[in-house]
Amino acid sequence: MMVLETILYLIAYPPLWHVLIVGLLGAFFTAVVAIWFERKTAARVQRRIGPYWASPRLGGFLNLIADMIRYILQEVIIPRSVDRVPFVLAPVAAFVISIMPMAFVPLSPYEKFWPVPNMDYSLLLALAISTVPPLMSIIGGWASNNKFSIIGSIRESYVITAYELIFVISLLSAAATYTSLNLLTIVNAQSPIAWLLFLNPIAFLAAFLAVLMSTSAFPFEIPESEHEVVGGPYTEYSGILYALNMGGAYVRRFIYAVIMSLVFLGGWAPYVPPADGPLFAIIIPSLIVAIKAVILVLIMSFLRAVYGRYRLDQALDSAWRLVLPMALIGLGWGIVLGLIL
Amino acid sequence: MSLPELGEEIRVRLGVLAREVKVAKGFVEVVTGRETLREVAKTLKEMGFDHVKSVTAVDYPKEGKIRVTYHASSFLNEELSRFMVGLSVDLPRDKPVVETLYPIWNSVEFMEREVYEFFGVIFEGHPDLRPLLLAPDLAEKKVMRKDFVVREESIYEGVPHEYK
Amino acid sequence: MSISEGTLGELRSKGVEVRRIDKEYYEIFIGPQHPGSGHMRFRVKLDGDIIVDADPDIGYVHRTMEKLSEGREWLKITPLVERMTIIDACNITLPYINALEKLMDKRPSTRASYLRVLLCEMNRIASHLYGFGIFGVFIGHSTAYMWGFGDREVFVELSEILTGTRLTYTYHIPGGVRRDMPQDFPQMVRRAVRYMRSRMPEYEKIFLNNPVIVTRLKDVGVITKNRAAELGVVGPTLRGSGIRYDVRLAEPYEVYGEIDFEVPVFEDGDALARTWVRVEEIKQSLNIMEQAIDWLERHRDEPVIPKEDYDKLPKLHKEVYEKSGRVKLLPAQISMKVPPGKAVARGEAGRGEIFYYVESDGGTMPYRLRVVTPSARNAIVFKRILPGHRLMDLPTVYGSIDYFAPEADR
C-alpha cells in the first residue's frame, strides 16, 4: 500500500504534475486530438474522409502521430540570411513559455498539491505569463529576414493589441465578482453548478473570441494566412522548429482553455474531492479540468470548416468596436454580480 | 441592323478618313493611314465602340508591311455590341511606328504591349511600353514575325522540322 | 552598401533587370512561387498596409500558342489551343472552329450544335465551380474549395462519358462533332442537373451568405459600369458591374438563339457581385443543359455531321459511325486546305469572352491565328483596381475575377 502511495505521490508531485503531465502531455495530447478533430470534422463537412490510412479503425488518428514523428525527423533548414540565435530560440521559447502558466493554476483544493505554496495572485500570474509567447513569434518573424515574415509579424503585433486587453478584462470580471485574484477562491465559489458561464456569459464570449484571435484560429487566422503572406512569421521555418511554431498555437489554445475552464466553467465542479489522497484530490480534478478545456479547444477548431478569414482591419475593427465593449459590459456585470452575491 | 448596313454607316461617317471600308467575315474592316488612325478611332469611339477586343498584328514580309488591326466593339450600346469593327493600319516592316490609341481606348494597354514584344511595333505615347509575356531578351527577336523560324524537333526522326 | 555604375552595367549586360527602388514604399513580390498566386507575379508596392502600385507580371506560362499554330494543320490546332484552359476546353476551342467554319462556308448540323452547346454548358459549370473553389481557399474558406472541386467532378465525368476524356476533349470538328452521345446519356444529365440544383442553396448558405465572407467581399474591388467598359473586362467581371453583355446574347452562335436563358447581371461591381454572377450563371447553365438534352432526346435520328460530309466517307467509316456514333476523320481532312480570307469569331467561355482572328492564305496551315482570352483581358484589373486596397484584398480581387494564368498567357 505504501509503495502505491509513494508512486502516486511522485507522479502527483505538484510541479511535475502541473507543468509536465497536465501541461506538456495534456497539451501534446490536445494538440493531436484537436488537429485530428479539426481535420476530421472539416472533412465531414466537406464530404471527404480526411486522415484515414495510418489506422483505418481509429479514424486515421495515428496519422497525426506519424506527422509529428516526421516533423521531428525532418531536416531543419536555417537560411543563411537569418539572425540565427533568435531564429532558433524564438519558437523554443514560445513553446516553453506557453506551458508555464500551468505552474500557477490550482488543480486541487488541497494545498499540498499546489505547485506554488500561495495561490493568492494565481489568476494574475497565469494571465501575465500567457501574454509572452506571441512576442516570441514576432521575434522569430523579425529574425527570419523575410518580407513576408515581417508582414506576418506586424500583423501579429496588431492582433495582440486587439485581443490582449479583451482577454484580461473579461477574465478580471471574475475577480470583480468574487473580489479575489485567487483562482482557487474563484473555482470554489462556483461549485457545484453556479458557473460564471451561466452567470456572466458575455464575459465568457468575449474571452472565447479573444482566444480565437490570439491563437490565430478561424475566422481570425490573419498573421499566417497562407495566401497573402505564405506562412507569416513562420515562412522560413522547417522541421521541428516549424512544428514547435505550429503546435505552439494549439498548446496556447489549450492553456488558455484551462484558464477559461477554471474561471468560467467552475474548474473541477461539480466534482468535490471527498478525500485528500492523490487519486481523488488531484488526478480526477485534473482530468475534469482537462476534459473541459479539450471541449473548448474542439469547439474552436470546428470553426475552421465554417468561416473564412477576416481582413486585418475588419478583425481589429470588430475587436475594438464590438468585443471590447462586450468585455467591458462583462466586467460591469461582474461588479454588479459581486455586489449581489 | 445588319453587318453590311453597319459598314455603310461607318463608310458615310468616316468619309475620306478611311481608305477602305469592307465587310469581312464577322466584322467590318476599316483601313486607314498612320496619320488618320487616331481621328478614325475617335470617330468610332463617338459612334459607341467603347472597347477593343484585340490588337492583332499580321506580318506580310513579301509586301514589306505589318498590318495592325484594332478589333473594337461596344459594351454599353447593346445594338452595337452585336458587331465588331476592325480598324487596320499598315506599317512599314523596317520602321513600324504608330501613335498609340491608349488615350482613346484604355483597354488596348496590355494588348499593345503584346504587339510591341511580338512584332516590334512601337506605339508612340504608350505610358508603359515594355514586354508583357516574354522575357526582354526574347522580345528583342520579334518572335511573331514570319522571318523568325521556330525549330521544332520531330519526335520520330530527330531531324529538325522547319516552318515559318 | 553602394554598387558602382560599372557593376550595374555588367549586371544589365547579363540580362539582369536593375532599377532604383523607392525607399518610401515596401515592395514585395508575390509569385510566381507563392501559395496565393497562380503562375504569375505581382510586384506590389505597399504604403503600410495599402497597395499604392500593383504591376501584374504575367507570362510565366506563355506557350507561344499563336506562333505554334502557324505550324500546325487546321485540325491539329484544336488540341493545341485547348491547352490554354483545359478546365474550359470546349468553350475555348468553339470560337476557333466557328471562325474556321466561317472561312470554309460550312454550317454545323443542328444536332452537332446542340451537342456542342451541351458540352459547353457542362464546361461552364465545371469552370465556375473550379474558380469558386479557388476563390474560397484564397480567403481561407476551405469548405467552398472542397465542395467546388467535389461537385465539379460530376460534370467532368459527364464530359468523359460524352467525349471519352475528362478535360481535353478535341470534340469539335468543322461541321460537326466527333462523337454522338451514348444511349442513356439524357438520364445521366438530368440526374446531374437535379443534384446540382439541390446543392446550390447550400453553397449560398455556407459561402455567399456567410457573414465573414460577406464582410470580406462587400465593396472590395469595385469596378463601376463605365470603368468596366473602358477597361474592356469580360465575363462575370463585366456582368457584375451592371453591363448586360454576353456573347451568347449579343451574337448568338450555335443554337443559343433558340434556347431560352437569362443573363444574370448585378449592379454593385464588387467581388461579391461577381461571385453572385457566377452562382446565378450555374443555375442558368443547368436550364440550358436541360433544354439541350430534351432536344437531343427528341431528335435521336439526326446526324452529327452534315449530310455532304457523311456521303464523302468511305464504307468503313460509315460503318463505324452507324455502329458507335463516332466520326472517324479522313487523312485528307487533316491536310485540308482552307480558302483564303480572314474571319473573326467570339464566344462566351466560363471566364468571359474569347476572341479568335484567323487568317488563311489558302494553305494547309493558318497564316495567322490571334487569340485573346478572357483572363488576358481581365489582367488589367489588377493594375487599375488594386491600388488603394489593402494587401489582404489582393486574394479577394484575384479570386473574384477568377484569373487563370495559363489562359491569360496563352
ipTM of the predicted structure?
Answer: 0.86
The Cα–Cα gap between B103 and B109 comes to 10
For residues C278 and C282, what is the distance between their CA atoms, to the nearest angstrom? 6
Look at chain A and report how many structural domains it folds into.
Answer: 1
Give the minimum alpha-carbon distance from B71 to chain C in angstroms, rounded to a whole number.
Answer: 9
Chain C residues 56-95 with a CB less than 8 Å from chain A: none
CB contact under 8 A, C140 and A308: yes
Nearest Cβ partner of C391 from A228, A304, A305? A228
The answer to whether the Cα torsion of A143, A145, A151, A154 is positive or negative is positive
* DSSP strands (E only) in C2-149: 26-30, 41-47, 50-57
Quick one: which H or E segment has residue B70? strand B65-73
Q: Could A310 and C216 be called an inter-chain contact, meaning their C-beta atoms sit closer than 8 Å?
A: yes
The reply to whether residue C136 touches residue A304, judged by beta carbons under 8 angstroms, is no
Grid cell 469611339 is found at: B45
Task: Say if C16 falls within a structural domain.
Answer: no
**Cα(A259)–Cα(A267) distance, integer angstroms:** 9
Who has greater pLDDT, C142 or C197?
A: C197
The neighbours of chain B, by the rule of 3 or more Cβ pairs under 8 Å, are C
Domain that holds residue B107: 3-163
Q: For each of chain A's 341 residues, which pLDDT tens digit applies? A: 577 777 777 666 766 776 777 777 777 777 788 788 888 888 888 888 888 888 888 888 888 888 888 888 888 888 888 888 888 888 888 888 888 888 788 877 777 767 777 777 888 888 888 888 888 888 888 888 888 888 888 888 888 888 888 888 888 888 888 888 888 888 888 877 778 777 888 888 888 888 888 887 777 777 777 777 777 788 888 888 888 888 788 888 888 888 888 888 887 877 777 777 767 777 788 888 888 888 888 888 788 777 778 888 888 888 888 888 988 998 888 888 888 87
Phi-psi region of B4 (alpha: psi -120 to 50; beta: other; left: phi over 0): alpha
The pTM for the full model equals 0.86
CB C210 to CB A307 under 8 A?
yes
C368 and B56 within 8 Å at the Cβ level: the answer is yes
Percent over 70 (pLDDT), chain B: 93
The verdict on a CB contact (< 8 Å) between C244 and B78 is yes
pLDDT of C360 > 80? The answer is: yes
Tell me if C83 sits within 8 A of C63, measured CB to CB: yes
DSSP E strand stretches across B83-155: 85-92, 97-99, 122-124, 150-153
Q: ∠ at Cα A65 (A62, A71), nearest 5°?
A: 145
Count the alpha carbons within 13 Å of C274 in the hemisphere toward its beta carbon. 36
Q: Which of C49, C138, C390 sits opposite A227 (nearest CB)?
A: C138
Q: Nearest Cα to C220, choosing from C352, C390, C374, C46?
A: C390
- Best interface-test mutation with A: which of C138, C151, C153, C212 has the largest number of A CBs within 10 A? C212
β B85-92/B122-124 pair status: unpaired
- Does C150 contact chain A (CB < 8 Å)? yes
Q: What is chain B's mean pLDDT, rounded?
A: 83
In which domain, by residue range, is A230 found?
2-340
The number of domains in chain B is 1
Q: Which of residues 292-351 of C touch B (CB under 8 A)?
A: 341-346
How much is the average pLDDT of C252-270?
A: 87
Q: Do C140 and A147 touch (CB under 8 A)?
A: no
Mean pLDDT to the nearest integer, B64-70: 89
Q: What is the pLDDT of residues B92-150, one digit of tens each?
A: 888 888 888 888 888 888 888 888 888 888 888 888 888 888 888 888 888 888 888 88
Q: Is the pLDDT of residue C78 over 70?
A: yes
User: Is C3 inside a domain boundary?
Assistant: no
Residue by residue, DSSP assigns C122-177 as HHHHHHHHHHHHHHHHHTT-HHHHHHHHHHHHHHHHHHHHHHSSSS----EETTEE
Nearest to A228 among C210, C215, C394 (CB): C394
C305 lies in some domain: yes
Test the C interface: residue of A154, A213, A216, A228 with most C CBs within 10 Å:
A228
Choose from A40, A227, A303 for mutation: most chain C CBs within 10 A.
A227
Q: Please indicate whether residue C4 or residue A40 has the higher confidence score (pLDDT).
A: A40
CATH number of domain containing C330: 1.10.645.10
Q: Average the pLDDT over C317-343 and give the result.
A: 82
pLDDT digits (tens, 9 = 90+) for A246-285: 878 888 888 888 888 888 888 787 777 777 776 777 778 8
pLDDT band of C37, cuts 50, 70, 90:
low
Q: Whole domain around residue C269: which residue ranges? A: 65-409
The confidence score (pLDDT) of residue C1 equals 45
Average pLDDT for chain C = 85
Is the pLDDT assigned to residue B156 strictly greater than 70?
no
Chain C hits for A218, CB-CB cut-off 8 Å, are 140
- Residues C97-128 pLDDT 10s: 988 888 888 888 888 889 889 999 999 999 99
Rounded to the nearest 10 degrees, what angle do helices A147-178 and A122-130 cross at? 170
Are B82 and C250 an interchain contact pair (Cβ–Cβ within 8 Å)?
Answer: yes
What pLDDT is recorded for position C195?
92
